[in-house]
Structure 1
Amino acid sequence: MKVTMFSTQDYDKTFFTSHCPDGIALDFHDAKLNEHTAVLAKGAHAVCVFVNDTVDKAVIDLLIDMNIRHIALRCAGYNNVDIDYAKSQGMSLSRVPAYSPEAVAEHAVALMLSLNRKLHKAYNRVRDDNFDLNGLLGFNMYQRTVGVLGTGKIGRAVIDILLGFGCEVLCYDIFEASELKDKAVTYTDLPTLMAQSDIITLHCPLNESTEHMINEQSISSMKDGVMIINTSRGKLIDTKAVISGIKSKKIGYLGLDVYEMEEDLFFKNRSNEIIDDDVFQRLQSFPNVMITGHQGFFTEDALTQIARVTLSNIELAAKDEQDAETFL
């Protein structure tokens, strides 16, 4: 079974090759999947895609014309795929819903701590033999109120870490997690969470109801100096509204591992290029903003699990079998 993999990096090749079972041949391409690159999958039985590949109706039609019947996502989110149309055309789709929730959770908390204690600034100062502490003042996480938006597996992993710090945890989700009922957390409505949290961290999927949930109106209801962390999907945040919030000092800290226009930036070395995204450049200019390039998932443990589950899903698709947990 031949599988064409799009948007691949060297680490994808390493982990997928080392875990690839007999009977599957992997064809790696660094190009993103879209209408212009879909032809690279000619002769394949399945395609494997990542978060910034485009799998809309036009691309799905091209894949069907090439007799490709399975789309394997090597990620949890699937907002970039027209699921309903693919299914209506008889295609099967799979994903990796829980490759390593702890990896993303730990990265989210790392952003909180780095912004709070200004570790990025302190590191650069000491390298320059500057040991002045002025400007590096932080706050205790202990007894701070953290609002966790989304209590799926990643959100619950974040909560476990925060409870270890002694934080007061508020939660919001349309489905309350039974696993949290015996823990010292409080489910509340969204307006209350926004208004009472010192830190707000996003761990929910991107859909019509969550797109730009952090916007001008919601920001206005937050505490002055609030910290916002997003390691989920970039479009959960209205970036221009956040920039206004930073300028007005309503937002005191912003930590991003995702960005709503990241498909044109992330996963490539662009150090020798002129970045023409003025919004991103404005974000970069603030001293209280920390951005990482969608690396929350990037641990050895997570990449191993991603490769194993994705390849298992492809094997199941070849046998015309489906796993209820990993197939859409």
Structure 2
Amino acid sequence: MKLALFSSQKYEQPFFEKSLAALNSNNITISYFEQPLNATTAPLCQGFDSVCVFVNDTVDDTVINTLAEYGVSSILLRCAGFNNVDLNAAKAHNIKVCRVPAYSPEAVAEHCIALMLTLNRKTHKAFNRVREGNFDLNGLLGFNLFEKTIGIIGCGKIGQALVNILNGFGANVLVFDPYAQAGCYTLCDLDTLLSQSDIISLHCPLNEQTHHLIDDSALAKMKPGVMLINTSRGALLDSKACINALKTKKLGYLGLDVYEQESELFFKDHRDEIMQDDVFSRLVSFPNVLVTGHQGFFTQEALSEIAQTTLQNAHEVAHQLPLSNEVK
């Protein structure tokens, strides 16, 4: 199998090379492309058997038609989400789609906690103050997570990992998830979670039902000054609605590791460019907003698991074995 890996970053290549060596397969060779896969770059796939993509690659009907013309037999996602792949088009062309269903759920859950604590205790602001010789505590007041009500929307593996951490803080955890079973949390409906939570964290997939799940209506049901965290998919939030809620102080804190239009921004260095996204520029102008560039997954353990599972998927496709992680 000749595998074209798109949106390649230098930090992930050693993990793929190490996992490839451990797989001990001479049948897989990897070519790394820094470019994202989209309609413009799809011609690069000519001569390859499979493509490997990440969260911000565009694998729509147009791209899949091109892949089919070149004889590409599989699309390997090195992530859990697959909202950027047209599954119907892939099925129509008999192109297999595989993903990495779980890669260190604790990595994302721990990053979620980091966003909560940083926003709450303002450690990023304290760091800058102290470096400048300013030890004034005014403006740095936080609150205890102990006995606060924290709502989790979506309680899959990442949500459950977050529940375990929050229980350690002594928080009162609410969960809204139609598929969740009873656990160390209180199951409730969405309106109850929105109205009772001091902190709300999103951990659900992006689909037609969850697109802009947090909109003006949802925000209106929340407590004044609520903290909202999103480490899942950017389009779960209506960014303009969040801006309005920040301006009225309905949102007291907003922590984002994802953004609806992140494909044009994240994983790249834009320091010498003029920011063209006015919505993003407005979001980061608020002192109570913290944005990280989709790094929730970014731990050694997670990168190792992503590489191992992706290459195992490639191995199964190459040898026509049952596909452990096929998306249908």
> Where on the TM-score scale, by shorter chain, does this alignment land: which range?
over 0.9
Per-residue CA deviation, residues 281-304 of structure 1 (Å, 9 max, x unaligned), is 001110000000000000000000
Per-residue CA deviation, residues 136-170 of structure 1 (Å, 9 max, x unaligned), is 00000000000000000000000000000000000
Aligned to 2:204: 204
Does the residue aligned with 1:219 lie in a helix, a strand or coil? helix
d(CA) in 2 for partners of 1:140, 1:12: 37
Contact 2:121-2:142 within 8 A present in 1 as well: yes
Correspondence list, 1:250-269, <5 A: 250-269=250-269
Correspondence list, 1:163-312, <5 A: 163-177=167-181, 181-183=182-184, 185-312=185-312
Structure 2 letter corresponding to 1:299: T
Per-residue CA deviation, residues 54-98 of structure 1 (Å, 9 max, x unaligned), is 001110000000000100000000000001220121111100010
Aligned to 1:161: 165
Contact 1:206-1:235 within 8 A present in 2 as well: yes
Aligned counterpart in structure 1 of residue 32 of structure 2, from 24, 28, 32: 28
Deviation at 1:327, TM superposition (A): 4.4
Deviation at 1:43, TM superposition (A): 0.5
d(CA) in 2 for partners of 1:34, 1:2: 19
Structure 2 residues without counterparts, runs of 5 or longer: none
d(CA) in 2 for partners of 1:127, 1:262: 31
Deviation at 1:320, TM superposition (A): 1.8
Aligned counterpart in structure 2 of residue 96 of structure 1, from 83, 95, 100: 100
Per-residue CA deviation, residues 70-128 of structure 1 (Å, 9 max, x unaligned), is 00000000000001220121111100010110000000011000000001100100010
Structure 1 residues without counterparts, runs of 5 or longer: none
d(CA) in 1 for partners of 2:295, 2:228: 17
Aligned length: 324
Aligned counterpart in structure 2 of residue 58 of structure 1, from 47, 57, 62: 62
In structure 2, do the counterparts of structure 1 residues 182 and 282 end up closer, same or farther at CA, with 3 Å as the change threshold? closer
Contact 1:97-1:326 within 8 A present in 2 as well: no
TM-score w.r.t. the length of structure 1 is 0.97
Contact 2:317-2:323 within 8 A present in 1 as well: no
d(CA) in 1 for partners of 2:108, 2:316: 27
